[in-house]
Structure 1
Amino acid sequence: MTDIQQHALSFGPVAAQYEAARPSYPAELFDELERLLGRPLKDADVLDVGAGTGIATRLLAARGARVVALEPSPGMAALLRRVSPGIPVVKGVGDELPFHDASLDLVGYAQAFHWTDPAKSIPEALRVLRPGGKLALWWNVKDRATGWIKAQEDRLVVALPNYHAYGGVIAGAEQLTEAGLAVEHVTLHWERQVTVDSHLTDLTSRSYFAVLTEEQRAPVLAAERAALLAEFPDGVLTEPYVLDLFVAGRA
């Protein structure tokens, strides 16, 4: 198993942490998505690929989309079904979509496109999209222009040999242009206030922590807790995010 495959398959055991502490998405994301789609999400047939526990799936459904969640991890899919029993969940991956040709208005990837092989996932998305349909990719990334976030990243680079940030977001999205698609890009800024405990729970849901044993994770988390409480002694911090949205369609 490759390192990428190991990381991609690591989420099942941390599904509860993922659901409890991963950031959601601001309403502005879906406003922009509708603008770039050129239509409301209401009554659109939407596929959420790599849906995880359904964080984005539920927000798409709340906009009135007929959304199906596609998720390869049994652990993540089981939690999604439990939390959102009304949303259909299908096992599968973006590189081989189990859907008919020209059956969808939108194929979306929330924090998930980097786990695919774009040489396969892009043609698959185009195959299942109806004329005028779009492929949308988006990522929440903590804003590294903020001092404490950059300092934490520097610590994790040293502490975790398998640490990786979402450095390939823009590079991955460039595959859309290379595939001959017309691509529009929007960047949003937003923030949320969380406790140090919640922030650390979010960290444990990341693949670079999920692949570690408890013995490997514990000292890193203890060091992070100490560093964060030294900077935020009341135990509450504000996480600023940069949210990149790419919407692509046939040129």
Structure 2
Amino acid sequence: MTRSSAFGNIDPETFSRRASSFGGQAAAYARERPGYPDAAVRWALEPVSGRTPPRVLDLGAGTGKLTESLVRLGADVVAVEPDPAMLAQFRSALPEVGALPGTAEEIPLPDGSVDAVLVGQAMHWFDLDRALPEIRRVLGPGGVLGGLWNLDDDRVPWVRGLKEIATSTVSFRQWDPGSDRLEGRGFRVVERAEFPHGQRRTAESMAATIATHSHVLTLPETERAELMARVVGYLRSVPETADGEFELPIVTVTVRAF
């Protein structure tokens, strides 16, 4: 039996395995994944910008990539993360931020206790039918829900070629972070914006980044090694990425609902 998810219809075992695959590589995730541009985070928080400082829940906080930006912007942050290894990595990197074990479907916070709930690279793993009522419960009056996704900009030809190489062995299609999944879910306004972003990479560090994606983490070791070799080989063959560091172009897609 398959599950209808943000990624399309896949079997529940595969979905669960991929959703829980990050903890074993928490240190690599913290080291290799990009953060989020402050402009995108600021836009997500705009509906509550008059609250100083806004109380923000980073839900599915992972290793703290989004929280780092929230702290820079002066927010009062509490984090919730289900994976113990990711949570340990978060607490090590951001000991000054309160971080709790919990899930989007059972948020360990009181009713109306935050001004905003922000989700970085994680909303596609939520069971939205259960998570959205919980999110609305912990949001105070006039609160905002924001989702952010860093997507490699495959409008650039060499990035499109890399994507074809990196996903050639898998059928798990990428989540489309559209606003339609939040429309009609108890929010008055749902909006979407895109922000330019980038990350300095080498062929090896780009392969290491791809290796932290769930569809790669769950491959057998031999297949994973073969895929990484193809990725490095491709990057060595492309003029833009052949020598030393290069800039990976990223689009940060942001959706806000309030």
- Is 1:14 the counterpart of 2:22 in the alignment? no
Q: How many residues align?
A: 244
* Partner in structure 2 of residue 246 of structure 1: 255
* Partner in structure 2 of residue 186 of structure 1: 193
- Is 1:169 the counterpart of 2:180 in the alignment? no
Output the CA distance in 2 between the equivalents of 1:123 and 1:12.
27
Output the CA distance in 2 between the equivalents of 1:146 and 1:178.
34
C-alpha RMSD over aligned residues: 1.6
* Partner in structure 1 of residue 5 of structure 2: none
* Partner in structure 1 of residue 227 of structure 2: 220
Unaligned 5+ residue runs, structure 1? none
| Amino acid of the structure 2 residue aligned with 1:150 | R
Residue 94 (structure 1) aligned to one of 91, 97, 104:
104
Q: Report the Cα offset of residue 163 of structure 1.
A: 4.3
Name the CA shift for 1:162/1:17 in 2 (closer, same or farther; >3 Å). Answer: farther
* Partner in structure 1 of residue 86 of structure 2: 76
- Is 1:62 the counterpart of 2:72 in the alignment? yes
- 1:172-212 Cα distance to aligned partner (Å, 9 max, x none): x3121121411122211222322122111111111111112
Output the CA distance in 1 between the equivalents of 2:156 and 2:47.
29
Residue 134 (structure 1) aligned to one of 127, 132, 144:
144
Alpha carbons 1:136, 1:245 under 8 Å: kept: yes
| Amino acid of the structure 2 residue aligned with 1:60 | L
Alpha carbons 2:112, 2:140 under 8 Å: kept: yes
Residue 34 (structure 1) aligned to one of 45, 50, 73:
45
- 1:84-116 Cα distance to aligned partner (Å, 9 max, x none): 111111111111211111111111111110000
**Where do 4+ consecutive residues of structure 1 move more than 4 Å?**
none
Output the CA distance in 2 between the equivalents of 1:244 and 1:37.
19
* Partner in structure 1 of residue 54 of structure 2: 44
The TM-score normalised by the length of structure 1 is 0.91
The TM-score normalised by the length of structure 2 is 0.89
Q: Report the Cα offset of residue 162 of structure 1.
A: 4.6
Instruction: Tell me the percent identity.
Output: 31
> 1 or 2, which has the higher helix percentage?
1
Q: Report the Cα offset of residue 218 of structure 1.
A: 0.5
- 1:44-80 Cα distance to aligned partner (Å, 9 max, x none): 2111011110011122122221211111111111111
Q: Report the Cα offset of residue 20 of structure 1.
A: 0.7
